[in-house]
Structure 1
Amino acid sequence: MFKFWKNKKGGNSGENSSLPAAEERKEAVPDQIIELTGREVQRSVAPVLGMTVLDLAERNEVDWNSFCKRGTCARCRCMVVEGIEYLSEPNLAEERRLDPEEIEEGYRLGCQSRIEAVGPVKIKHAPYF
């Protein structure tokens, strides 16, 4: 999956040039759905372009554990089951915290992964502990 972003963006991971534009868009896209599965709560929610997976989960009261929101504690670690192409590419914080094999398997940090496009997405909270 990591190879997907290199092919998609045509460059190295960790360079997210679309972030400033994405920050401006904070309205939900009601005709599309993202499925978020926390420890006990599962919800289908409207995506918000530019928002992190963690912020989207918190906004919709999905029980997503978090602590630092900086990409260091990995309590927000999650598995992208479907729709990884609709998320931002792994950034430097994720590359430092997650093993390359984890990224390849579809694991991301919810505090770092942003919704960049609309499409069917399923994400499951998958912390280490």
Structure 2
Amino acid sequence: MTDLTALRYTEEHEWIAGDGGVVTVGITDYAAEKLGDVVFVELPAVGTEIAAGAVVGEIESTKSVGELYAPVAGVVVEINEDVVADPALVNAAPFADGWLIKVEVAEGALDGLLDRDGYVALTEG
């Protein structure tokens, strides 16, 4: 199990693991639950430059279609091909095998993101 207190979070329900260099990005269990059964995931291509807050992908479920927002600016260095092939991983293991992209970020890119307590307060509010 991932240590959820070591992650950073966004108000759009993404999580970020790592503290600089290359970080891993996924959606939270809260977001996966709200979406329902995920049936399709579209991710940006490796090498894509992304801007914090920009839409970089799509997550489609049996209930709705959600957008994946870039939580940080940087360059996509890896996508999770397993999730593209088996979107249900987003529901089954959102903090583990269900990660979505890895992004190379500049130092300080994670400043201003929520810690676990801040994210829990957001989802319970």
Give the TM-score taking structure 2 as reference length.
Answer: 0.28
Give the TM-score taking structure 1 as reference length.
Answer: 0.27
Normalized per residue, the structure richer in helix is 1
